[in-house]
Structure 1
């Protein structure tokens, strides 16, 4: 350790004077380590204790007592001894040395002692010019010596020394350069994050960060950038360590950060609603708040919900539990006000509510929902408030929920969501179609072998290329781009769900609805085709293409991992549903008199052969009666709709999950939706095409909407049949089924483009750009004739050129 040369002139007069003792002694304290010529000159009575000398050294140098020892005549002087007892003579020379630690890394200890000494020198009014450079050099040497195996010991040495205190003292000094050096050194230390350090050293690392937080909090304040940075690093490491008495950091210590962050979040919520924009609390503050709350939540979880007041509820963290309860209600109340304001904006001025895109209310809601589960009645209160501001909640979901985030908490109460919110959450689980065509999966398909060739392409495709999107064309056709992809999805889905393919069965009451065919095993590769079908449906959703088919409720619920009940099979097999319903509603006496004549068996036909399957062990010997009829119905439903197609559903789900990266996401995708939501996403609008809506979403290039040709065009369209309108729309856009929101749900507006070609030319389209082109036909009859030819000759293949 060392001090500045100016200290050598420092005199210690009138120190612990005692008239009964001889004149004060004069002795020199030589500070060893870096600057050997630095000496403190003291005057003290021989009755003065060594502790008093240490205290005076601390007041002069700032070097903590714990970091140094005094030696005289080769012996260490102990605090309780007096100068007389230590036989210190007049003009004696005492040595002040750094405390040596019992360690396998003495060089590391020496470097830390030198760092501390240099810092104390820098804190004096004057210091040698090379000291800051010396500190930086020594720090770099200290960290460069640390390898992964010794990381824990190095961190322990650093934390046990007064280096953190010295660095904070340097940061708080009035000298601007000192602050910069300290800031750089502390940030450098905090850069030793979990990606660099081995896991076994995380605990020591966190203890040091915690020490920095404690040292900075008082003098620097909770708004200081360096303190906030240290607190953020500590929050980021909380999930990797245990919290408790044995760990050195207790929940009570951590909870102090919860309280200060809660105050900041509360203040930010109060000021978050701006006349022209919504500003929420910062994402960093919410994330840190969540990290510091987690240990307390973990400690309480698994217990019964806590009932307030806490008078009769003993708890080791009683104060923290009570304070967190108050924090929850404060933040929830202020959040309710913000959502109410947003709700008003949505109802009156949508433009103003757009500013909510950059706020983080949704992240805070997730944390409050987690806290609400601890306390009796709080979870219900949370969801009631969300329901009362459903419009604002759904707007937040649509505008703020991002890919890669966990939104499963929202599925706990789907009543607070609408179709737009649920669809957005589902779409966030699918990959985003890449803009770069070069990374997409390329396919060249022969229309005459569309299903077989598409299957082979998918079978041998790299999954990552499929996740990037598709780039394809049909053989011997020039058209490429999104319009061709939309057409391919329509055609390949028609082939997959065609009853002649035998993969899926259409519901008897609704031929648009499909579920897996139990008899699909007639094709030896049928399971591979189900995997292919799963990929195609996931990709169609990813590309936002409505393919005109929907899943039966039974199939949807199985993909979501739900149990199938009697009410679920109503559409799939109405006859079986009615039979089972009748069995359950019969008078018990009639059933017990064997009026049904049923046993626990079921007859099925496979490949033209009828066979009997037991619904349970020795089912043929067990008669159905009033007590077991519910079991009989449930077993029948499981055999008919679950067990008979389990492999098919499994392979379809796997194909779907391949596009989504994992099976967990596949189940979450269907769980977050209602069956009707998937209907709208896959099939699209079931309403007749509105010509007014069509016109409202069409722009003109070369024409004006008042031109005769445009007036004639829309009059002709209005007179078309519903099927003719679909054909024209498909010719124009390669879209056969509009989104549930109609034309406003498309990616862009439609275009009518004026060409300079002769009036004998038929209209043409660029389906990728939703563009219909035709010349300025001279009369309405000519235009009607040209459009009629298109409608007659269009048989499903693309007329688009790009």
Structure 2
């Protein structure tokens, strides 16, 4: 026969101060009876006199209890059950050789102060006598260690004994009962007392408590339905350690983080064992701690602000409150209504959290203001330190945003605060956003972002280029068959090797390395988007803009080439190479899974755009008079022949009128720019997805960006090349800046046409289109090297290292002639070497 222990835990009695909930050896207690009454009759003179006495169990475990002389023996049995879990009905208490009866009072049984009582009964009747015996031995050892002023010689340490205890069976029911034994035994309180007793004991207790937590995690991996049983144990450790050691104690922080992690896997609420009131004190505690850390970071530099562990714990402890209100239709409004109290009984907690949000948002705003001041003062060194210390701030901003969504008006307040300090917020995102984290919450309000932020967040979705060349994909390409051979290499390549990196070499050329790779990206993209290859169509209003060609099926392998194209573009973005082309808006939107509207086709087909606008803006009466003569059909050309396609069922017989003209325009656009190129877009997206690793990442990449963002990433700067900027980012080896040859060089470059400058830059770096930031956006400065070769030699370059090399030409005219040769389009390639 077994019974669950009473719900009233040992700590409850300790708080009531009517018992001592520890197992100690009475031989170590001071037994000074000089103060006791000389006669037991004195007990009857005060029926409520407090007593302290000892109850010895079958093991060496002894309980120290306190009670009034008027209390019954039944009450003592209940207290013992609450502490040990031994059912009261199976207990027998012996005193003075006689068994005490349940209905007798302690006074009637003549129990004196410091009396020794014996508990008899079959401990095996608890169902787990060995576990009870083991945990009692643990507690006895703990108090021997606490009471002894000299080292105690033991055969087993506390950690070893607890390790044996925590080796629970795989059976869920038995594991449940064992955890109940641990809770009922007051082992947690005993361990905390050991932790605070002395330095040597502190180390032993620290190891033991950490082992319990670690063992608990191992148990939970095999028994996920046991999470709710481990929570009370860790919750008890947290409460005891907080009181005994404080919230900054390392062991307390470990226990608190373990408790926070467990909350993700259990139900919290009125029907669960753990409720909101149990965990909300941790929310308040962490909010105060985080506020204090933020305040220090704004006053003393370089103080790092709150730790990431505190922020993560705060998030996990707040999560159950989020769960509590997830079914509410609207955000919480203040003052709280009766309807709210009917569906949620945690009004006090939500009221407190509301105040916390405003306080935390205020202190976070102070941090942003400080960042702005340092940015404005151009204190680069201090600002760099500030950003390093602020990397956890972004995680906290995310948490504030989550909380803001549950309160009416708070989300708008949050974003208005971020907009007021947009520069600092954007810098924070760029400096602190890391891979494998979710930043979609930032994109919910793109007004607080800039191009730098959106580009950074999108690039985090792409694989990182590795420096290890062990698994990269090698390609040897013939320039005369550039597109076909590149396609074959990509088609047969292992995707993981493509993500790892690329090694490029052109046949019969010495040049290798990153410079050649940049050149290949530029050339192969120019070939892919060459209208003669029928894969993409250039917009008539902007020949740099492309979208898939509906007639690309003239090539039986067109869909495979679209998948190849998706891989190449993803790799070019991954390697940060500007290839000089951009996507039309409608193509970009479809890759992000967004809907195409009339305004989105303006560049792709100006004639159709203008025609549709006229239909929509025409006088309704004229439309209804059928002056347009339109029906729900669309003419398309395939392989030189024209055919009619219905835009709806029996479209040929459905006339366009003032009521259905919007539907007609939408259907026409959908067929012309969605259905007609759906397969091409899908294959391109799959190629992009191959490099990114999954469909979700491919979609999110384009959702992070605006169409013009991708323009800048693929095409680069729209501005002409600035010679002053070029010169400011160039260094010299062998030459001095004041040498005639350097002065001539920059004068000659300044006189070049815009196209010649691009060709010279391409010859020098394999980059024809600069990043949006100009030369400062390149991965390295540029270099001019003086060579000892004959002055008759043409300049050469090491494109990998951004080096231009030439001898000391005698005159400016000679230098101009040499530079004119290499800035011809058909000459400006393949001069680079490693």
Aligned match of 1:323: 352
- Higher mean alpha-carbon deviation, 774-783 vs 249-258, is at 774-783
- Higher mean alpha-carbon deviation, 428-437 vs 118-127, is at 118-127
Aligned match of 1:363: 395
Which secondary structure does the structure 2 equivalent of 1:797 belong to?
coil
Is 1:162 aligned to 2:194, yes or no?
no
- 1:409 CA drift (Å): 0.2
CA distance in 1, matches of 2:272, 2:68: 46
- 1:293 CA drift (Å): 0.6
Aligned match of 1:286: 311
- 1:561 CA drift (Å): 1.2
Is 1:353 aligned to 2:379, yes or no?
no
Check 1:524–1:107 CA distance in 2 against 1; reply closer, same or farther (3 A cut): farther
Is 1:416 aligned to 2:439, yes or no?
no
- 1:284 CA drift (Å): 1.1
- 1:496 CA drift (Å): 1.1
Alpha-carbon displacement from aligned partner over 1:638-673 (angstroms, at most 9, x marks no partner)? 101111111111111121122122111111111111
Which secondary structure does the structure 2 equivalent of 1:538 belong to?
helix
Is 1:180 aligned to 2:180, yes or no?
no
1:26-105 equivalences under 5 Å are 32-33=58-59, 50=73, 64=83, 71-72=93-94, 81-82=104-105, 94-96=117-119, 100=123, 105=128
Is 1:439 aligned to 2:460, yes or no?
no
Aligned match of 1:120: 143
Which secondary structure does the structure 1 equivalent of 2:445 belong to?
helix
Alpha-carbon displacement from aligned partner over 1:254-302 (angstroms, at most 9, x marks no partner)? 1111111111111112111256546332111111111111110111123
Equivalent of residue 374 in structure 1, options 400, 406, 420: 406
Is 1:600 aligned to 2:632, yes or no?
yes
Alpha-carbon displacement from aligned partner over 1:75-102 (angstroms, at most 9, x marks no partner)? 975665456977999x998534799486
- Higher mean alpha-carbon deviation, 521-530 vs 404-413, is at 521-530
Are the equivalent residues in 2 in contact too, given 1:357–1:396 (CA < 8 A)? Answer: no
Check 1:485–1:195 CA distance in 2 against 1; reply closer, same or farther (3 A cut): farther
Aligned match of 1:583: 615
Aligned match of 1:140: 163
Aligned match of 1:258: 283
- 1:336 CA drift (Å): 1.2
Alpha-carbon displacement from aligned partner over 1:687-721 (angstroms, at most 9, x marks no partner)? 11111000000011111111111111111111111
Which secondary structure does the structure 2 equivalent of 1:512 belong to?
strand
Check 1:100–1:680 CA distance in 2 against 1; reply closer, same or farther (3 A cut): farther
CA distance in 2, matches of 1:79, 1:714: 107
Alpha-carbon displacement from aligned partner over 1:485-544 (angstroms, at most 9, x marks no partner)? 101101111111111221111111111101111111222222222111111111101100
Check 1:677–1:53 CA distance in 2 against 1; reply closer, same or farther (3 A cut): closer
Is 1:460 aligned to 2:482, yes or no?
no
CA distance in 2, matches of 1:102, 1:290: 44
Check 1:749–1:621 CA distance in 2 against 1; reply closer, same or farther (3 A cut): same
Aligned match of 1:706: 738
- Higher mean alpha-carbon deviation, 682-691 vs 120-129, is at 120-129
CA distance in 1, matches of 2:478, 2:349: 69
Report the TM-score when normalising by structure 2. 0.88
Gaps (5+ residues) in structure 1? none
Equivalent of residue 678 in structure 2, options 646, 663, 673: 646
Aligned match of 2:273: 248
CA distance in 1, matches of 2:564, 2:63: 84
Check 1:156–1:524 CA distance in 2 against 1; reply closer, same or farther (3 A cut): farther
Are the equivalent residues in 2 in contact too, given 1:146–1:154 (CA < 8 A)? Answer: no
Aligned match of 2:5: none
CA RMSD of aligned residues (A): 3.3
Aligned match of 2:255: 230
Check 1:652–1:156 CA distance in 2 against 1; reply closer, same or farther (3 A cut): farther
CA distance in 1, matches of 2:582, 2:137: 74
Alpha-carbon displacement from aligned partner over 1:55-92 (angstroms, at most 9, x marks no partner)? 9999xxxx957679664399975665456977999x99
Equivalent of residue 310 in structure 1, options 336, 351, 372: 336
- Higher mean alpha-carbon deviation, 547-556 vs 159-168, is at 159-168
CA distance in 1, matches of 2:361, 2:368: 10
Paired residues, what number?
A: 793
1:4-19 equivalences under 5 Å are 4=25, 6-7=27-28, 10=31, 18-19=40-41
Are the equivalent residues in 1 in contact too, given 2:159–2:211 (CA < 8 A)? Answer: no
- Higher mean alpha-carbon deviation, 290-299 vs 304-313, is at 304-313
- Higher mean alpha-carbon deviation, 72-81 vs 204-213, is at 72-81
Aligned match of 2:11: none
Check 1:644–1:193 CA distance in 2 against 1; reply closer, same or farther (3 A cut): farther
CA distance in 2, matches of 1:194, 1:366: 28
Are the equivalent residues in 2 in contact too, given 1:601–1:620 (CA < 8 A)? Answer: yes
Are the equivalent residues in 1 in contact too, given 2:168–2:178 (CA < 8 A)? Answer: no
Equivalent of residue 823 in structure 2, options 788, 791, 797: 791
CA distance in 1, matches of 2:771, 2:360: 39
Is 1:507 aligned to 2:539, yes or no?
yes
Are the equivalent residues in 1 in contact too, given 2:716–2:769 (CA < 8 A)? Answer: yes
